[in-house]
Amino acid sequence: MTTPHRFSPDACLTWTLRLLALWILAMGALLPWAPRALQIGLFAVALLTIALHWAGQRHFPWPRYRLALPVALFFAYAGLTAAWSVNREDAASQLVQFALVFGVSLPFFAALLAIAETALRPAAKAVLIGLALGVGLFLIELFADQPIYRLTRGMDFAEVIGANAINRPAAVSALLIWPLAYGVWRLGWRKIALALPVLFAVAAGFSSSQSALGGMLAGLLFWPLAAISLRGARRLLRLVVAIAFLAMPFLAQALFASGLGSMPWLPFSMGHRVAIWHHVAGLALERPFFGWGLEASRVLSDFADMKAGPVQGTIELLPLHPHNAPLQIWLELGGVGALLALAMAWVLLRTIGKLDRAAQLFAYPLFACGLFMSGTAYGAWQTWWISGFLTAAACFLILWRGGSDEG
């Protein structure tokens, strides 16, 4: 009797499943207090999964071209804009990050799709445990004044922690709650699955992350619509995405002209964003076709004196990024970039439309939640933020392929 080769298909599959389980459990443990670690974990698991697939199957896991092509075109064009960027130094480093993140993520997804559904079931169980761990620890952090964050940084409870320390895990958790609910639904625990996003939205209301709360409300808005008509939800999302990517500069100017940013009841952060978006829209329309180049947002800031509403005094009009992905794309990549981003989003929606009904029922709210947060918070190119989206997608994919349907 011969001993199986260490790189036999079965051996590589076994190590892949162990790797996926370790990754998702580590992600759950780190999410509440170190969300930036997501990018390191995603890159490592993707690279090792690709290597194991190659070793076991003797071929590279090429991604499906219909989904990979619009992604490749978008980022290839983004790279091209570095040639005329007003911030070439940062543009060059951002190109390296694009290559690292998407260069491994797309083949990683292809490798996951190549694993048999029955073989993925142990990984799906680990995903459920990891997601529950991550969301559960985040809630402890939220309601107990971030004990894990303080412990890992040697801080006592008298010290004040910046808002981003809880806002970042809140935003990523708002993405991950949807695959968690989907996995619970597949177990047959339908009432719990329906309650999870609702309860998390209530919890998000107690956080300082208005974007996480808004994202959850957007997801909850599309959820019943998807239950009534999957096609209707998809068409509405296609329309919303088209408006967001094609008309955002004009919407930003109209929003500022309406006087909304001067309303005293508006939260400070939203009033500031209205001013930021107006400034960015004006810059974007100065170069409407090809934009100012990749990473231009970092060097196009200005200041203004605000005299009414929640934002008063001297404020910065572009602090590193516009806090609005469609506007950042318009500013840096122009209308061409906006069209390519729209194509990428539409292809993703089309791909979701090919899933089974239960998967679509949770995928559309996840898409809506992510779209809202992308339009109100964080930079479009922040690697940890992109990694949060890709991690949610990977978890959803594993649960779709390897989850068990009960009840």
Residues 180-204: pLDDT tens digits?
999 999 999 999 999 999 999 999 9
**Out of 39-43, 184-188, 211-215, 298-302, which region has the weakest mean confidence (pLDDT)?**
298-302
The radius of gyration computed from the CA coordinates of the chain, to the nearest angstrom, equals: 22
Locate 227 and state its tokens: 């239950």
| Average confidence (pLDDT) over 103-109 | 96
**Amino acid, single-letter form, for residue 8:** S
Q: Give the distance, in angstroms, between the CA of residue 248 and the centroid of all CA atoms in the same chain.
A: 20
pLDDT at 2 over 50: no
Closest CA to 70 of 340, 380, 406: 340
- The answer on pLDDT for 61 being more than 50 is yes
- The pLDDT value recorded for residue 302 is 81
Question: Could you read off the pLDDT of 141-179 as tens digits, one per residue?
Answer: 999 999 999 999 999 988 989 888 999 999 999 999 999
Q: Give the whole-angstrom CA distance, residue 253 versus residue 274.
A: 9
- Cα 75 to Cα 309: distance, rounded to the nearest angstrom: 39
pTM: 0.94
- Return the domain boundaries, the chain: 9-155+163-245+323-402
**What's the farthest any 2 CA atoms get from each other in the chain?**
83
Encode burial over 139-154: b for 16+ CB neighbours within 10 A, e otherwise.
Answer: bebbeeebebbbeeee
Residue 214 has pLDDT above 70, yes or no: yes
For the beta carbon of residue 347, count every other beta carbon within 10 angstroms: 16
Phi, psi of 116 (to 5 degrees): -60, 145
Burial group, residue 257, by CB count within 10 angstroms (0-12, 13-18, 19+): exposed
Task: Compute the average pLDDT of residues 379-389.
Answer: 95
- The token duo for 298 is 């970092």
